[in-house]
Amino acid sequence: MVRNHSILVVDDEPSVCFLLKEELSEQKKFDVFTANDGVAAMNTLQQRPIDVVLLDVKMPRVGGMEVLKFINEHHPTTQVIMLSNYADVKTAIEATKLGAYDFVGKPYTRDELLSTVNRAIQHRRLTIDVELMKYELSRKEGEKEIIAQSPAMRIMLATASKVASSDSIIHIHGASGTGKELIANLIHNDSPRHERPFVVVNCASLPDALLESELFGHERGAFTNAHQMKQGLVEVANGGSLFLDEVGDISPIVQPKLLRFLETGEFRRVGGTTSMQVDVRIISATNKDLNAEVKAGRFREDLLYRLNVVTLRIPPLKDRKEDIPLLVEYFIKKKIKTKESKRISPDAMRSLLAYDWPGNIRELEHSIEGAMLLSHEDVITSKDFILTQSTVEQSIPLTTGANSSVLTMEEVEKLHIEMALIKFKYSRSKTAKALGITLKTLYSKIKRYKIPAEKE
Ligand SMILES: Nc1ncnc2c1ncn2[C@@H]1O[C@H](COP(=O)(O)OP(=O)(O)OP(=O)(O)O)[C@@H](O)[C@H]1O
Ligand SMILES: [Mg+2]
């Protein structure tokens, strides 16, 4: 299932509106609205974001060209397709020069109409992606695989995919570098909104006034330097998901505005007079303890309750060391695109398993990258991890004492079997042979340690 696109048909002939609405609605992927004149069209556009407008050139009072100018100025991401009779084809062509996406001559065929509308939707999507990429608000590049096999992560991921398909607000809590943004992205991609934008706003990186206008947009002249109208990110994300990163850092000034938006789905551009309604799914994340922030008077309690309808907690890497071998292999493969791969020595793996990773997975990824550059052979040894080495040595009590950072013999055996299984692509017979144990012993250990049958 995919989120519907919104289309507005504007024509002074009710029969044309009716017909177009019928034809487009058949597709089931469009929500179609109609307006019989330019003024009604502008009113509709002020109330809800519209993806594509089918616009008659000739209408009494406010004509198509005026509406086009209005759309260009106030709703720049909305795509306009002019509808023209034979007589006003020239004007329609003129309109495309002024920013209309294309035109369809009347009479049109159904296929012609649908293909133009679909291309316009595609074009809108690309325009938005380019805009967002400019601001690094949408980061789609690279692979988005989530590597996890630890029970804690599996439970968390199962919950994430269960809630992904709904529209519920989700809060993600986890220390820096644990993969909060990755999970937010996964939720979006697993939802019916996956074809619409995933917009990321880092609430900590913007000053108050700027954050408000980034989120909700502003009208021209709303404040000094507001020379042009700007659409808010909530508008751009319409139909998709908005990821409020570092939500714990939103200032007390913006908090009530965000709360109102979460409660009603309505917002006003800064300096604007009309409320607009959008359909956006909110995912938020922080590494702060929001309950403590509430107690300290820095975060509104009612906003916290709105945000944490469903809370996903991502454990730090030190509490799920079972994930390390898989992550290491994944990052090595990700870096080397050729066939031959580098291996990591057992000695180096031991160091990685002993270290506590305060920077979590991001730190692990960077360490692997660095070590790969330093290693000369096709084997990465512990010496190649210069940055972490001193810390690792400190963190391994070599002689005495029970310490949570030291793995038990059973944990080490389990990890060793897992690594061998990965190496031999889960072939039980090859793995058993390499480990020097019988197939029967391997099976009983897999069962005992509850090792997953295969990497997901
Ligand atoms: N389970 C995982 N599998 C593969 N890669 C991961 C995993 N978790 C995190 N990463 C990678 O680690 C890096 C950090 O992840 P991400 O940016 O999502 O963390 P974060 O919790 O948002 O961090 P911060 O709080 O610093 O913003 C990214 O490059 C991400 O792709
Ligand atoms: Mg992040």
Per-residue pLDDT of the chain (456 residues; tens, 9 = 90+): 677 899 999 999 999 999 999 999 998 889 999 999 999 999 999 888 999 999 999 888 888 999 999 999 889 999 999 998 877 888 888 898 899 999 998 888 889 999 999 999 999 988 888 877 766 554 555 557 899 989 999 999 999 999 999 999 999 999 999 999 999 999 999 999 998 899 999 999 888 888 999 999 998 887 777 778 888 999 999 999 999 999 999 999 999 999 999 999 999 999 988 899 999 999 999 999 999 999 999 999 999 999 999 999 999 999 999 999 999 999 998 887 666 678 888 888 988 998 999 999 999 999 998 888 888 778 888 888 864 444 444 444 333 333 444 566 777 788 778 877 877 778 899 999 988 899 999 999 999 888 877 643
Could you tell me if 181 and 142 are in contact, meaning their C-beta atoms sit under 8 angstroms apart?
no
Ligand 1 pocket, residue 248 CB under 6 Å: no
Q: Which residue's alpha carbon is at the smallest distance from atom 13 of ligand 1?
A: 362
Ligand 2 center to 203 CA (angstroms) = 11
> φ and ψ at 377, to 5 degrees?
-90, -175
Ligand 1 pocket, residue 148 CB under 6 Å: yes
Strand pairing report for 79-84 and 102-105: parallel
Ligand 1 pocket, residue 152 CB under 6 Å: no
Q: Which residue's alpha carbon is at the smallest distance from atom 5 of ligand 1?
A: 146
Ligand 1 center to 193 CA (angstroms) = 22
Architecture of domain 151-315: 3-Layer(aba) Sandwich (3.40)
Q: Please choose from 362, 366, 455 the residue to mutate so as to test ligand 1's pocket, defined by most ligand atoms within 8 A of CB.
A: 362
Q: Which residue's alpha carbon is at the smallest distance from atom 10 of ligand 1?
A: 179
Name the closest ligand to CA 146. 1
Q: What is the pLDDT of residue 399?
A: 33
Q: Please choose from 182, 366, 369 the residue to mutate so as to test ligand 1's pocket, defined by most ligand atoms within 8 A of CB.
A: 182
Q: Where are the domains of the chain?
A: 5-134, 151-315, 319-448
Ligand 1 pocket, residue 247 CB under 6 Å: no
Q: Which residue's alpha carbon is at the smallest distance from atom 31 of ligand 1?
A: 182
Rounded Cα gap, residues 214 and 201, in angstroms: 8
CATH dotted code for 5-134: 3.40.50.2300
Name the closest ligand to CA 139. 1
Ligand 1 center to 144 CA (angstroms) = 10
Secondary structure in 3-state letters for the chain:
CCCCEEEEEECCCHHHHHHHHHHHHCCCCEEEEEECCHHHHHHHHHHCCCCEEEEECCCCCCCHHHHHHHHHHHCCCCEEEEEECHHHHHHHHHHHHCCCCEEEECCCCHHHHHHHHHHHHHHHHHHHHHHHHHCCCCCCCCCCCCCCCCHHHHHHHHHHHHHHCCCCCEEEEECCCCCHHHHHHHHHHCCCCCCCCEEEEECCCCCHHHHHHHHHEECCCCCCCCCCCEECHHHHCCCCEEEEECHHHCCCCCHHHHHHHHHHCEECCECCCCCEECCCEEEEEECCCHHHHHHCCCCCHHHHHHHCCEEEEECCHHHCCCHHHHHHHHHHHHHCCCCCCCEECHHHHHHHHHCCCCCHHHHHHHHHHHHHHHCCCCEECHHHCHHHHHHHHHHCCCCCCCCCCCCCHHHHHHHHHHHHHHHCCCCHHHHHHHHCCCHHHHHHHHHHCCCCCCCC
Name the closest ligand to CA 361. 1
**Cis omega (within 30 of 0) for bond into 107:** yes
Closest ligand 1 atom number to CA of residue 314: 21
Q: What angle do CA 25, 282, 51 make, to 5 degrees?
A: 30
Using a cut of 0.95, tell me whether the model's pTM lies above it. no
- The domain defined by 319-448 carries CATH number 1.10.150.240: no
Ligand 2 center to 134 CA (angstroms) = 18
Q: Please choose from 361, 366, 367, 369 the residue to mutate so as to test ligand 1's pocket, defined by most ligand atoms within 8 A of CB.
A: 361
Ligand 1 pocket, residue 146 CB under 6 Å: yes
Ligand 1 pocket, residue 287 CB under 6 Å: yes
CATH fold match for the domains 5-134 and 151-315 = yes
Q: Which residue's alpha carbon is at the smallest distance from atom 12 of ligand 1?
A: 362
Q: What is the pLDDT of residue 402?
A: 39
Closest ligand 1 atom number to CA of residue 176: 25
